[in-house]
Amino acid sequence: MESSHSIDPAWLAAFDATLVRYFAVDHVAAGADVAVLQRYADLSGDQAAMAFADDYELARLDWWSWGRA
């Protein structure tokens, strides 16, 4: 039987991929434990990551301007 505190691995992979792409951190580096992640479980992984980043004011990467000065 699956624990009510478990996070779907596919959802978590999408969450982390979005955080890494836009903020260069995964959920561990961002300090998101299971209790925090469950607050976003009603969203898709990518939407949850962006909502989490907005709620916790993560600084978005400015990748498109790297090397331009």
Instruction: Tell me which of 10 and 6 has the higher pLDDT.
Output: 10
Q: What's the length of the chain?
A: 69
**Residue-level pLDDT at 60:** 87
At 33, the amino acid letter reads D
Q: Is the pLDDT of residue 1 over 70?
A: no
Q: What is the pLDDT of residues 7-66, one digit of tens each?
A: 999 999 999 999 999 999 999 999 999 999 999 999 999 999 999 999 999 988 876 656
Residue ranges of alpha helices (H) inside the chain are 9-23, 34-38, 45-55
**Residue-level pLDDT at 5:** 64
Under DSSP, is residue 16 helix (H, G, I), strand (E, B) or coil? Answer: helix
* Residue tagged 């959802």 (tokens): 11
Alpha-carbon distance of 38 to 48, in angstroms, equals 10
- 38: region left, alpha or beta (phi > 0 left; psi from -120 to 50 alpha): alpha
**Residue-level pLDDT at 65:** 57
Question: How does residue 6 score in pLDDT terms, banded at 50, 70 and 90?
Answer: confident
